[in-house]
Amino acid sequence: MDLGGTIPPQIGNLSFLVSLSIGNNSFHGSLPNELSRLFRLQFLDLSYNEFSGEIPPWMGLLNKLQILFLNGNNFEGSIPQSLSNISSLQQIDLAYNQLSGSIPSSIFKMPTLQQIVLYSNKLSGPMPASIFFNASSLQYINLGNNELSGGLSTYMFDHLPNLQFLSVAHNHFSGVLPEIGNLTMLTALFLYHNNFEGAIPSQIGRLQKLEQFAIYSNYFSGPILYEIFNISTLRNIKMAFNNLSGDLPSNMGLFLHNLQVLALHGNELSGTIPNSILNASQLIILDLGDNSFSSSIPKAIGNLRFLEALILGDNKLTIQSRELGSIFSSLSSCKFLRLFSLAKSHLNDVLPNSIGNLSTSLQRLGLHDCNIKGNIPEEIGNLSSLIDLTLNHNELGGPIPTTIG
């Protein structure tokens, strides 16, 4: 309602208030102590204002609160231990503030708690081992975008049977992951941008409702287990920029009917690109770049009709003479293709005329360092949306077609 100003102490006189919702305004200043007299409050939403100062310790006196939304303000200082006294709390959202210090050890012990959002603060230190000890009702945990560090304790995820969403992304967590096989209700798991290492837990295959698996930018190592590819609900698999090695399982794509994004860029993966990838027919982004894949590309790659980005560059791919023509012809079925990179492959071929059959939606085409010989075909001029074409470091000859100009 575009309201501003501070909250007057007289608010404490409204002692029968059960619900106070003043979110999305421009109130500022600190919260008056008198607010602590509203002991009947069950619902308190102060989100998206400009409140500042510390979250007052008397907040713990509002022990009938079920909903506490303080997100989107300028609260600073640490999370008060007294919040653990709010025994009927169901949802707490402190995201987008300036909170610092560590998470108090037994703060989330209320058995009714369903949602914890601490996203985008400056919280630091280790995650208390017992943090989710009594949290069988928890459905949603977002601790992303903080400065939390240390390892996750071995039994941390054992007793969260209702958890659907878990993010600890963009922190400084390290060490190996505890087993996660008991998180059977999980639909998202976000661990990206941390320092996790070691293998991906083998029980991952028990997460049969998982839709998003994002662990990119860590130091995970070892092979990618088939169990991951056996989760048919997955829409996104993002494991780029780790230290994963070995071959992809040959039957990897068979059950990925819902997969839209497979990003494995910047690992140490080797072997061939399995033909079964073509069974993942909903793929929009397939990024296998900067690995050590060898051999060729599945012949019918264009069966992935919804592809918008196909990144295969920076591998050890080798394409036989005339094969490039059939790859381009196949890809002509991908009407939405915007980005295609094969850079740093051993093509040893000429650029076929069928390059002109690629989708007119193509904006970026990376074919540098590919041992391409011969002339650049006139047909390249058909690619009317092209804004980024790299052909450097090849063995091309002849004139540059006027169709490019």
Ligand X SMILES: *[C@@H]1O[C@H](CO)[C@@H](O)[C@H](O)[C@H]1NC(C)=O
Query: For residue 287, which of 243, 239, 328, 319 has the smallest C-alpha distance?
Result: 239
Q: Is 397 exposed, middle or buried (0-12, 13-18, 19+ CB in 10 A)?
A: exposed
CB of 182 to ligand X, least distance (A): 4
Q: Does 24 bind ligand X (CB under 6 A)?
A: yes
Q: Which of 6, 21, 320, 321 binds ligand X (CB under 6 A)?
A: 21
Q: How many residues bind ligand X (CB under 6 A)?
A: 35
Q: Does 12 bind ligand X (CB under 6 A)?
A: yes
Torsion of CA 368, 373, 378, 379, to 10 degrees: -70
Q: Which of 109, 209, 338, 393 binds ligand X (CB under 6 A)?
A: 109
Q: Using CA atoms, how far apart are residues 301 and 208, in angstroms rounded to an integer?
A: 28
The smaller minimum CB distance to ligand X, of residues 134 and 403, is found at 134
Q: What is the sign, positive or negative, of the torsion defined by CA atoms of 27, 33, 34, 40? A: positive
The smaller minimum CB distance to ligand X, of residues 34 and 76, is found at 34
Q: Report 258-287 residues binding ligand X (CB under 6 A).
A: 268, 279
Q: Using CA atoms, how far apart are residues 75 and 91, in angstroms rounded to an integer?
A: 18
Q: Does 76 bind ligand X (CB under 6 A)?
A: no
User: How many other C-beta atoms are found inside a 10 Å radius of the C-beta of residue 348?
Assistant: 16
Q: Which of 134, 272, 363, 382 binds ligand X (CB under 6 A)?
A: 134
Stretch that binds ligand X, among 77-85, 89-97, 333-341, 394-402 (CB under 6 A): 77-85
Q: CA separation (Å) from 349 to 132, 177, 325, 328, 375? A: 58, 45, 9, 13, 11
Q: Does 10 bind ligand X (CB under 6 A)?
A: yes
The smaller minimum CB distance to ligand X, of residues 6 and 13, is found at 13
Asked if 161 contacts 182 with a C-beta cutoff of 8 angstroms, the reply is yes
Binding-site ranges for ligand X (CB under 6 A): 9-10, 12-13, 21, 23-24, 34, 45, 47-48, 60, 81-82, 85, 109, 111, 133-134, 158, 179, 181-182, 205, 208, 219, 221, 226-227, 230, 243, 245, 254, 268, 279
